[in-house]
Amino acid sequence: MENLSTFLFSGLLFTCLYLSFRLVGRKAANPRLNRMILLTFPVFSLVLGFWPFETQAPISSIQLPELNFATQANQEALSSSNLFYLYFLPGISLLAFKLYRSIQSILNRKSQARHAFSAFGKVYIGDGFKSSEREMVLAHERAHIRQGHGIDLIISCITEMIFWWNPFAYAWSADLKLIHELEADQGVKQFGLAYKKLLLEQALGEEIHFAHSFSVKKHLSQRLKDFNSNPCIMKKKILFYIPILALMIGFSAQVHGQDKPTFNNTVIEVPAEYPGGQEALFSDLTKNFKYPKKALKKGIEGKVFVQFVVDEEGNVTQGKVVRGVDPILDDYALSLLDNLKQWSPGKQKGENVKIAYTLPINFKLPEE
């Protein structure tokens, strides 16, 4: 579940970056720069989403095994695992469908006389083009191959698979493909008016189709406009993203720094020890346990994360719920700490230290 929420958070960061591009960067007359900026968005969003920002914790923290009040102890863990795989199932299905459609499209295009596209480092040109047109089409498609646009399309598919639920991921992919066309057009400027005429013929309805969305008429006006532009390094556009990235890093650090269950064991020289060990600890926690009547009546179940601190004297202090389900179960889980005895304190470099423990308590209703 932790990874799932991280993917969702990364998707939010991705949306913020893409909207900033739509606001400012999309109108920049530099396809190569725009392409590089777009390709950094999924990388930055995933890195910031999964980056292990360190918080200033005064004490070390250890994750205890899950305490189950259930008839089937492994049911919750199994369902969480299934949920993680189910997250990617729509994305993988979409990727497989797009791959099928791409192969089908390639096979269909080969049979068309006035059709051209590039795939897997090769250029396919139909027999219906004039010799002068073939030269321009070939230059355009070779520009796609030379500039590595095929790799971008793979990155685009992976991004859509990860953020399949985010509509901005598909808009991002569409913009990236348009930029591919603009960048490839820059490589055929030597043809001048003849190439512009070829684009205009497509706008008027001629059967001319290139790969990478050449036949999408709504993009032709922008391609014609950018064809005569002189690409320049838009330094002001790049500077625009610096404060945005700074804000996103700060926001990401704040989100990661909020109180939540810690699942990574900290290396402690001598951990605090409960009298009788872990078995005795769980025995005392479950002593006289009764499922809360109100929760039973309302059909409430779930996993409550309780955190407490074993101080330098071995006392259990600072008990709190760091992730709850319902106030009824939350309060009851917190009250279980009253059954605990004094611990043997943990030691670090020969000195007694405070250690925080996070205990997941799984409340599961009995099956009828």
| pLDDT, tens only, 268-283 | 778 888 998 888 888 8
Q: Smallest Cα–Cα separation from 358: which of 339, 338, 337?
A: 337
Q: Smallest Cα–Cα separation from 222: which of 53, 31, 69?
A: 31
Least confident window among 6-10, 198-202, 304-308 = 198-202
Query: Where does the pLDDT of residue 169 fall: very low under 50, low under 70, confident under 90, or very high at 90 and above?
Result: very high
Helix (H) or strand (E) holding 33: helix 31-50
Q: Which residues, in sequence order, are CB contacts of 318 under 8 Å at separation 6+?
A: 307, 308, 309, 356
Which string of b and e fits 314-329 if b means at least 16 CB within 10 Å? Answer: bebeebebbbbbbebb
For 42, phi then psi, to 5°, come to: -65, -30
| pLDDT given for residue 152 in this prediction | 93
Q: Smallest Cα–Cα separation from 157: which of 42, 7, 57, 242?
A: 42
Per-residue pLDDT tens digits for 9-25: 899 999 999 998 888 76
CB 141 within 8 A of CB 116: yes
Domains in the chain: ranges and CATH: 2-56+112-255 (no CATH), 65-83+260-368 (3.30.1150)
CB 196 within 8 A of CB 227: yes
Give mean pLDDT, residues 31-42: 90
Is the per-residue pLDDT at 107 higher than 60? yes
Q: How far apart are CA 322 and CA 32, in angstroms?
A: 47
Q: What global pTM score does this model have? A: 0.59
